[in-house]
Amino acid sequence: MADLTVDQGGRLRRPAGIRSIRLGDTKVSYVPDGDVRFRPLDLLEDTTDEVWAAHPEYLDATGQLVGSVGALLVEHGDRALLIDAGFGPQEHEGPQGPVRAIRGGALPQGLAELGRRPEDIEAVAFTHLHSDHLGWACHPAPGGDRPVFAHAEYLISEPEWERRDLLEAQGMAEQVAALAPRVRTITDGQEIFPGVRVRVAPGHTVGHAEYVITGGGRRLIAFGDALHAPIQIDHPEWSSAFDHDRVRTAEHRRRLVAEMAEPGTIGFGVHLADVVFGQVRHDGAGPAWRPLDA
């Protein structure tokens, strides 16, 4: 792996395109749906202006923290699983709060570029039930009235689905109703697809899930929103404003960072700009998060 420059070739300031890796007989691909711009001080409330002045490589020209929005396609033989479903064909701008702007809509095109149709997806496994992960599971296919993933089950951790009332209280009753007919709840440690096991890691939400994918002597941890930005690898004590339980999330993030530093372990963070696949290296040669293909 090559040494990285401080700004990692500008990749920390742009959203990711399609990227794929192989784990033995399993192919894993990031499928972009869009991007998000976070207000850094509002997203990571324990940071300061001085922190971001010292790390301008994470910010775009307007001072916003750049994030990706998308899904993870897992392919094993003819079978295909999707982890999360992007934001969907919509845009949103926030006049205040952590999200400055977010947009989606590109996921079906990305699947097509990877040679997959929505009907090829046998299941969509969610890390959690926030709108930027539910998008295309709740929106009909372009020009139609059927769900995009009409042939798929929706796999949601049991504790997450049991507390769907929290979503309804936040004005997401319509999304809950759209998901309900296809939901199958899953439990900690369950294998949901060849080489893919769910790991319930609450904190960001009450039943937030990670997915551990093994193959070819390696493992990949798709850690959902346990991390929103690569800088949290160096500072796991910095929790996101979106975390349901910030203390619990910080404790889990410390364990997760240590785990991703183990040999043969890869991390996948759907929001981590154009460095979604990476490994943790504490060698003093730069940021701890090293893009896998750097």
Q: Structure pTM?
A: 0.94
C-alpha to C-alpha distance for 196 and 124, rounded to whole angstroms: 13
C-alpha to C-alpha distance for 230 and 242, rounded to whole angstroms: 16
Map out the domains of the chain with their CATH numbers.
8-291 (3.60.15.10)
Digit-coded pLDDT (tens) for 237-289: 999 999 999 999 999 999 999 999 999 999 999 999 999 999 999 877 666 99
Residue 286: per-residue pLDDT: 63
Residue 7: per-residue pLDDT: 58
Torsion of the alpha carbons at 206, 33, 220 and 232, rounded to the nearest 10 = -60
**DSSP symbol at 59:** B
Q: Which of 13-22, 119-128, 162-171 has the lowest mean pLDDT?
A: 162-171
Mean pLDDT over residues 208-219, rounded? Answer: 97
Digit-coded pLDDT (tens) for 127-181: 999 999 999 999 887 777 788 998 899 999 999 999 998 888 888 888 889 899 9
- Mean model confidence pLDDT for the chain: 93
Residue 90: per-residue pLDDT: 94
C-alpha to C-alpha distance for 193 and 213, rounded to whole angstroms: 9
C-alpha to C-alpha distance for 223 and 126, rounded to whole angstroms: 11
Residue 237: other Cβ atoms inside 10 A:
12
Task: Dump strand ranges (E) for the chain.
Answer: 19-23, 26-38, 65-76, 79-83, 91-93, 99-103, 123-125, 153-157, 183-186, 191-193, 196-200, 209-215, 218-222, 265-268, 277-280, 289-291
C-alpha to C-alpha distance for 44 and 196, rounded to whole angstroms: 31
Which one, of 72, 41, 45, 71, lies nearest residue 58 by Cα?
41
Asked if pLDDT for residue 291 goes beyond 60, the answer is yes
